[in-house]
């Protein structure tokens, strides 16, 4: 039974939702993971059920009452829109009716940024399923990218996979020179024997986007091994990502690199090289060592007007890590 002010951070991604609770010192006392809370992929009832379970888990683990919660921060894909904001508030009040503290719902860039800066200042570049750059400075936010897989998301994992298959198509059709190594690795990764079978493999898959995005890691590995076609794709992707950052970034704030693409050391270093040519005097590029949900906790603490001291930061890092370990 805790008597401190308690904070909840929620990171609502496309495929899963992660929630954590910490006290005012940043000590994480509960962590739980549930399904997607994206209204585009699940029904409202299913989302509410997920949230109900998440809150139930958190409060059981933490052994505190609803009224001890001082701040709830939701960092969610698409959370910029007023309707999402209202939807989330309604859901939370419904599944956790005793909750009293302040509540805010923002774009998932917030959690990602704060997981690197432990503040709400700076630029974050997210390259994962999609791609977006987001800067927050003096409370003002600017975003660029984030148009989704049909209209943009250049430099995302999906984009890498799509470019790779487009090259396979062009090689097959004689529109570009055959790179046998590249072609073979892509076909093997898709588990097909010939380029002609790619069409069926992609369009008859239940999740064509996931199937296409699954090729990204093979493109990265090939580029790392020196394959020319893969290097070209990666090069274009990195330049697109740099263009996004360029639009919103200022040299004197930290840049946080977040998302699945930067899990690859190769991608991270390649991007940093490109970035440093453009911003030679830039000092802080951060690759967070905690997940975005910890960033959401930082935002919740700030919402409750707590100061995120070095002690709080270290508490968040060490306690979230040990909790993460106990879950995997």
* Candidate list 42, 89, 243, 260; residue touching a copy of itself; CB under 8 A: 243
* CB 77 to a copy of itself: min, Å: 11
Record the tokens describing residue 46, joined without a space: 């299913």
Per CB under 8 A, the segment of 14-22, 51-59, 162-170, 266-274 that binds a copy of itself is 162-170
Q: Per rule CB under 8 A, is residue 242 in the interface with a copy of itself?
A: no
49 class by beta-carbon count within 10 Å (0-12 exposed, 13-18 middle, 19+ buried): middle
* CB 285 to a copy of itself: min, Å: 22
* CB 154 to a copy of itself: min, Å: 9
Produce one character per residue of 163-190: b if its CB has 16 or more CB atoms within 10 Å, e if not: bbbebbeebeeeeeeebeebbebbbebb
Residue found under tokens 């962590």: 31
Q: Per rule CB under 8 A, is residue 203 in the interface with a copy of itself?
A: yes
Which lies closer to a copy of itself via its Cβ, residue 34 or residue 145? 145
Rounded Cα gap, residues 79 and 296, in angstroms = 13
Rounded Cα gap, residues 82 and 133, in angstroms = 20
Say if CB 71 and CB 101 are below 8 A apart. Answer: yes
Q: Per rule CB under 8 A, is residue 202 in the interface with a copy of itself?
A: yes
Rounded Cα gap, residues 279 and 31, in angstroms = 38
* Site residues (CB under 8 A) for a copy of itself, limited to 163-192: 165-166, 169, 173-175
* CB 169 to a copy of itself: min, Å: 5
* Site residues (CB under 8 A) for a copy of itself, limited to 62-121: 81
Rounded Cα gap, residues 257 and 133, in angstroms = 10
Rounded Cα gap, residues 180 and 190, in angstroms = 15
Rounded Cα gap, residues 296 and 302, in angstroms = 10
Q: Which of 244, 271, 247 is nearest to 257 (CA)?
A: 271
Say if CB 154 and CB 177 are below 8 A apart. Answer: no
Rounded Cα gap, residues 156 and 261, in angstroms = 7
Q: Per rule CB under 8 A, is residue 160 in the interface with a copy of itself?
A: no
Which lies closer to a copy of itself via its Cβ, residue 81 or residue 100? 81
Packing angle, helices 157-173 and 196-203, rounded to 10:
150
* Candidate list 145, 291, 292, 295; residue touching a copy of itself; CB under 8 A: 145
* Site residues (CB under 8 A) for a copy of itself, limited to 9-48: 40
Q: Per rule CB under 8 A, is residue 147 in the interface with a copy of itself?
A: yes
How many residues interact with a copy of itself (rule CB under 8 A)?
A: 28
Q: Per rule CB under 8 A, is residue 150 in the interface with a copy of itself?
A: yes
Per CB under 8 A, the segment of 115-123, 148-156, 215-223, 227-235 that binds a copy of itself is 148-156
Q: Which residues bind a copy of itself (CB under 8 A)?
A: 40, 81, 144-148, 150-152, 162, 165-166, 169, 173-175, 198-200, 202-204, 208, 212, 243-244, 247
């Amino acid at each position: 039974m805790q008597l401190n002010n308690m904070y909840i951070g929620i990171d609502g991604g496309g495929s899963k939702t992660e929630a954590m609770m910490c006290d005012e010192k940043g000590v994480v006392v509960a962590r739980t993971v549930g399904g997607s809370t994206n209204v585009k992929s699940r029904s409202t009832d299913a989302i509410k059920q997920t949230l109900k379970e998440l809150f139930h888990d958190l409060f059981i683990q933490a052994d505190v009452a609803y009224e001890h919660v001082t701040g709830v921060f939701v960092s969610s894909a698409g959370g910029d829109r007023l309707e999402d904001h209202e939807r989330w508030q309604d859901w939370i009040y419904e599944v956790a009716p005793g909750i009293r503290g302040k509540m805010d719902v923002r774009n998932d860039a917030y959690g990602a940024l704060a997981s690197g800066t432990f503040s709400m200042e700076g630029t974050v570049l997210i390259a994962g399923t999609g791609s977006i750059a987001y800067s927050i400075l003096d409370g003002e936010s600017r975003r660029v990218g984030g148009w989704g897989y049909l209209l943009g998301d250049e430099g995302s994992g999906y984009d890498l996979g799509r470019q790779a298959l487009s090259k396979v198509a062009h090689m097959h059709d004689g529109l570009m020179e055959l790179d046998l190594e590249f072609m073979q690795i892509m076909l093997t990764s898709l588990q097909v024997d010939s380029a002609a079978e790619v069409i069926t493999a992609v369009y008859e898959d239940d999740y064509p986007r996931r199937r296409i995005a699954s090729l990204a890691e093979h493109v990265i590995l090939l580029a790392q091994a020196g394959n020319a076609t893969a290097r070209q794709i990666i090069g274009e992707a990195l330049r697109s990502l740099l263009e996004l950052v360029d639009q919103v970034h200022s040299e004197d704030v930290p840049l946080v690199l977040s998302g699945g693409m930067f899990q690859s050391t190769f991608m991270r270093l390649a991007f940093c090289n490109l970035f440093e040519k453009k911003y030679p005097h830039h000092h802080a590029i951060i690759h967070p060592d905690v997940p975005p949900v910890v960033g959401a906790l930082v935002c919740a603490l700030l919402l409750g007007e707590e100061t995120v001291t070095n002690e709080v930061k270290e508490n968040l890092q060490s306690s979230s890590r040990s909790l993460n370990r106990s879950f995997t």
